[in-house]
A = this chain, B = another copy of it.
Amino acid sequence: MAGTAGDEQLSSHALKSPVPTGRPGGLARWLPILEWGRRYDRATFGADLLAAVIVTLMLIPQSLAYAQLANLPPHVGLYASIAPLVVYALFGSSHALAVGPVAVVSLMTAAAIGGLGIVDEAARLQAALTLAALSGVMLVLMGILRLGFLASFLSHPVISGFLTASSLLITLSQLKHLLGIRANGDTLPELLPQLIAGLPAIHWPTAAMGAGVLAFLYWTRSRLKPLLRRLGLGTRAADMCAKAGPVLAVLGSTALMWALKLDEAGVRRVGDIPAGLPPLTAPSMSPDILLPFLLPAFLISLIGFVESVSVAQNFAAKRRLRIDPNQELVGLGVANLAAAATGGYPVTGGLSRSVVSFDAGAASPAAGAFTAVGIALASLTLTPALYYLPQATLAATIVVAILTLVDFATLRKTWRSSRPDFLAAMTTLVVTLMAGVEAGVSSGVLLTLLGHLWRASRPHMAVVGCVPGTEHYRNVERHRVDTDPALIGLRVDEGLNFMNARQVEDRILSLVAAQPSVQHVVLQCSAVNDIDASALEMLEAVAHRLQDMGVLLHLSEVKGPVMDRLRRTDLLAHLGGRVFLSHHGAVMALGGEARVTAGRESGPPQP
């Protein structure tokens, strides 16, 4: 079976992609708009416009709410939903991805700025756009250097643990707005005691407003759509109306607040939002801000990228298109640079918004640019109307959206399929809850890497002997085979590298120490696809040590590319032993007549 796996690795030629990937050349490589813009027509325009109107209605409350989650004034959320969308339309490759503020990145922004201990609002605004700039630079660089593979550091268990933990943290952080009490902090140990201590001081009008909006939003999510269907609306129209829940909640609760003068009863409102277009801004260049932001910005970039790409790939697949992850890095990067230049904060592609955009029929990245026009109009004209918008409404919007990300089912699945993966997920979850997003994700990534290293440092190795009457060599533990007391044949079933070199060395030396009659060790390299400098050093050291014991080290069945590499080094000169084309040839040449039938029979013969 494995025979089909290795045969073509004999050549060191890299595999070329056998199909065109649809990737354009020249300038269009970096500006996908040059590609899709040529085919833009009236039908596409109509589809994009409709999608933009619907996404705009959805994005207004979302951007205000996520700015609140990021501990920033609400208009920052609007600013982050204008220029970044236009720029993404130029550089992004996804037709449906709706870029803008998202919950998880907003939480991470709040934690990063909070970690710096900045209280002053102007300084926080400056820090937020600096974070966006840093993240933008990192994303663009990663795209240009084609470092999209770095996202692999975030394994699925780590992402799942992180998403569940941050959803819980976000919910906790919004409880204060829903209950009208005070609580600050970014972790469970910071938030929970304050929330519990604050319970007696619940502001009942605020809590009533919060509960009402929550109930309404849950109702629109679960009941409104079937109701509209029964009233005769089409499936898609009913779906769209149900998605308008947050807009209705904003309108209704603002009207209620204004009519009943609830703000005078102590229900907190959003207050003055400056009307107008975003200002031009520049990030801070102070190392006091840039240095501590390096890790948060990197994690925001990575997590935002992973979220965006998985959303974008999902939609691309539905239309049999594909997106280029490295181009997405560039698109998200310039979107963040645009956010930094226009008073915003870190943005990325959001799932729920993209679903709406896709369902509404968005047919090109232009839909995003049209949405930006909508948000700009809202920013110019609607802000006075938002004066009476209750903070509790925004909090309820966040909680309803975010609780869908809590995902204990994946944890259960992971428990069943792999204990180490479960450990990584649980560690990420618990550390994120207890010590914040950065510590949680970092420890999850570290644990994933450690687990990988641990497994990789235990390569599969087998002492082999000859199946009687054949030229085949098999594991002495599993098969009835002949061995020669003067010769040890050892097969390593993985590429030799820094992770397993020590283990291979240890195994060879312990085998030889345990078998005093041995004169030759033959390393069967049929499954060794690669060899690195650490493994070369190891082989040289082992060969020398074996020579000190009067034992020679030989290699057999070395693959072409590995042999090429060996020839570029002086290992073959230091080896002492020889390189044989076949393991049987080695045994014949070295063992000769001394071969005896001495197969171990620890397992039943398996011919």
The yes or no answer to A288 lying at the interface (CB within 8 A) is no
Q: Contact partner of A548 among B318, B421, B491, B569, CB < 8 A?
A: B318
A570 to B512, CA, bound (A): 46
Q: Contact partner of A493 among B9, B148, B453, B511, CB < 8 A?
A: B9
Q: A15-B477, A569-B413 are in contact. Are A313 and B545 (CB under 8 A)?
A: yes
Q: Which residues of B contact A21 (CB under 8 A)?
A: 510, 514
The yes or no answer to A428 lying at the interface (CB within 8 A) is no
The yes or no answer to A19 lying at the interface (CB within 8 A) is yes
Whether the pair B600, A510 counts as a contact (CB closer than 8 A) is no
> Which of A2, A150, A537 has the largest count of B CB atoms less than 10 A from its CB?
A2
Minimum CB–CB distance for A507 against chain B, Å? 8
A455 to B152, CA, bound (A): 12
A138 to B418, CA, bound (A): 28
Q: A152-B502, A476-B18, A511-B19 are in contact. Are A2 and B6 (CB under 8 A)?
A: yes
Nearest B-chain residue to A414, judged by Cβ: B533
Contact flags A93-130 to B (C-beta < 8 A → 1, else 0): 00000000000000000000000000000000000000
Q: A421-B533, A534-B156, A569-B416 are in contact. Are A5 and B463 (CB under 8 A)?
A: no
A530 to B460, CA, bound (A): 12
Q: Which residues of B contact A318 (CB under 8 A)?
A: 545, 548-549
The yes or no answer to A474 lying at the interface (CB within 8 A) is yes
Q: Which residues of B contact A475 (CB under 8 A)?
A: 8, 15
Whether the pair A532, B569 counts as a contact (CB closer than 8 A) is no
The yes or no answer to A478 lying at the interface (CB within 8 A) is yes
Contact flags A143-171 to B (C-beta < 8 A → 1, else 0): 00000111111011100000000000000
Q: Which residues of B contact A269 (CB under 8 A)?
A: none
Nearest B-chain residue to A321, judged by Cβ: B513
Whether the pair B418, A157 counts as a contact (CB closer than 8 A) is no
A314 to B421, CA, bound (A): 37
Q: Contact partner of A18 among B313, B477, B548, CB < 8 A?
A: B477
The yes or no answer to A565 lying at the interface (CB within 8 A) is yes
Whether the pair A18, B532 counts as a contact (CB closer than 8 A) is no
Minimum CB–CB distance for A342 against chain B, Å? 32
> Which of A149, A310, A416, A512 has the largest count of B CB atoms less than 10 A from its CB?
A149
| Chain A: number of interface residues, binned into ranges | 35 or more
Within 8 A of B (CB), among A1-19: 1-9, 11, 15-19
Whether the pair A418, B317 counts as a contact (CB closer than 8 A) is no
Q: A317-B545, A320-B516, A417-B569 are in contact. Are A4 and B524 (CB under 8 A)?
A: yes
Whether the pair B417, A565 counts as a contact (CB closer than 8 A) is yes
Nearest B-chain residue to A566, judged by Cβ: B417
Nearest B-chain residue to A157, judged by Cβ: B533
Q: A15-B460, A416-B569, A460-B9 are in contact. Are A156 and B533 (CB under 8 A)?
A: yes
* Interface CB pairs A-B, < 8 A, 29: A1-B559, A2-B7, A4-B473, A6-B527, A7-B474, A8-B478, A9-B493, A15-B460, A16-B477, A16-B602, A17-B510, A19-B515, A22-B513, A148-B502, A149-B457, A155-B533, A155-B534, A156-B498, A157-B533, A313-B509, A313-B545, A314-B541, A316-B513, A317-B545, A322-B506, A416-B569, A417-B533, A417-B565, A452-B498
Chain A residues with CB under 8 Å of chain B are: 1-9, 11, 15-22, 148-153, 155-157, 310, 313-314, 316-318, 320-322, 325, 410, 413-414, 416-418, 420-422, 425, 448-450, 452-458, 460-464, 472-478, 491, 493, 497-503, 505-506, 509-516, 524, 526-527, 529-530, 532-534, 536-538, 541, 545-546, 548-549, 557, 559, 565, 568-570, 583, 600, 602
